């Protein structure tokens, strides 16, 4: 019969979550921010340690959202992609 409403609810929830908890607090370190439903891809200007700290802080919030992170200065996996940093561009 109809399609599932779950992705639409997750998308709406994450829209509010990112505005209140991520973009407001960490905007100064975020160079680029992309989201597909509840999967985030962030290009971060701080250290790897500060990126790990952000994930830890977000996971301590009293919300049902919990993050795992693939943090690297060379290569990360996002959805079905492997994204690596070349000399002048992402590959």
pTM, whole model, 2 decimals? 0.82
pLDDT digits (tens, 9 = 90+) for 28-42: 999 999 999 889 999
**Which residues 6+ apart lie within 8 Å of 44 measured at CB?**
29, 30, 31, 50, 51, 54, 71
Query: In the predicted model, is pLDDT for residue 55 greater than 80?
Result: yes
Query: In the predicted model, is pLDDT for residue 86 greater than 80?
Result: no
- pLDDT at position 66, please? 95
Confidence of residue 89 (pLDDT cuts 50, 70, 90): low
Please state the separation of Cα 36 from the chain's center in Å.
9
Domain ranges for the chain: 6-84
């Amino acid at each position: 019969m109809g399609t599932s409403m779950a992705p639409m609810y997750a998308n709406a929830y994450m829209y509010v979550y990112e505005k209140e908890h991520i973009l407001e607090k960490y905007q100064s370190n975020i160079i680029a921010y992309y989201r597909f439903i509840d999967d985030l891809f962030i290009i971060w200007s701080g250290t790897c340690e500060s990126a790990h700290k952000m994930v830890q802080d977000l996971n301590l919030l009293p919300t049902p959202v919990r993050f795992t992170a693939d943090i690297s200065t060379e290569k990360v996996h996002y959805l079905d992609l492997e994204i690596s940093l070349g000399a002048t561009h992402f590959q």
